[in-house]
Amino acid sequence: MNLCDKKVSKIGFGTWKIGGGYWSADRTRDPQWIELLRYVYDRGINLFDTAEMYGGGHTEELVGQALKDYDEEEFTIITKVWNNHLSYDDVIKSAKASLRRLNVKLIDLYLIHWPSPSVPLRETIRAMEKLVDDGVVRCIGVSNFDVTLVQEAMEVSSRYQIEANEIEYSYVHREPEAQLIPFLERNNIKVIAYSPLGRGEISRDARLAEVAKRYGVTPIQVGLNYVARRAIPIPKASTKAHVDELAKVLEWDLKEEDYLHLSSSS
């Protein structure tokens, strides 16, 4: 899979709750988090998803510290601007602050985290295109946008394409398959799936368990492989054992008949 002209692993890694929560930092486990993030990369997952809101920016710092000894061409970082920073000047300021915290040459993919009802999308996209022009950002995208909003984003982006839409999508939350994902696919916009483990629900899904038994794998691994057919899932993990379970998804694919069986089940 390619994202922003870089080769990325079939699944990425989400960093929400690493180093803090909603705009608040927690530095008590920094060494463990840095070690875990490096372990994720060493297990073959080279896409990391973060945001300025996570830990009030501290999560970005941890991602930057974890990856600082690796070649930037070998990993991809997604980060996001919060929806109270979507005015032109605030977008520029937020992106430069994220770049500083991540300690990389440029942000690979910069997303609008949530749409704003108060700032015109044209203004935000204009700032994001300026960031590409200035070499702060490699490419731009959106998150939590429905079909109408993605269409608007495409219309107001004059120089650069909308690379991706990051949305909630899992085997137990398949609503995007009806309209949103087909629309994104028709327009060559990548789907990035957050909460691809269905907030823990997929480990208890009987259909996934049935298929998992045939492959000798776990329901989580089947669920991630299902989502990976049409999206880049970005699961989270807090232990090396869980990272190992996620990384095994890189080693195999669902057979067509099993994918169709799962997709036809309601």
Q: Hey, which residues does 85 pair with through a beta bridge?
A: none
Distance from C-alpha of 25 to C-alpha of 222, rounded to nearest angstrom: 34
CB-based contact 57:23 (threshold 8 Å):
no
Q: Is 54 a catalytic residue?
A: yes
Catalytic residue among 22, 39, 41, 54: 54
User: Which residue(s) pair with 2 in the sheet?
Assistant: 7
52 close to 97: Cβ distance less than 8 angstroms: yes
Paired tokens of 67: 């990856």
In Å, how far are 86, 138, 139 from 91, measured between CA atoms?
5, 15, 14
Q: Which long-range contacts (CB under 8 A, 24 or more apart) does 118-123 make?
A: 119/86, 119/87, 121/149, 121/152, 121/153, 121/156, 122/156, 123/86, 123/87, 123/88
- The residues carrying an active-site annotation are 54
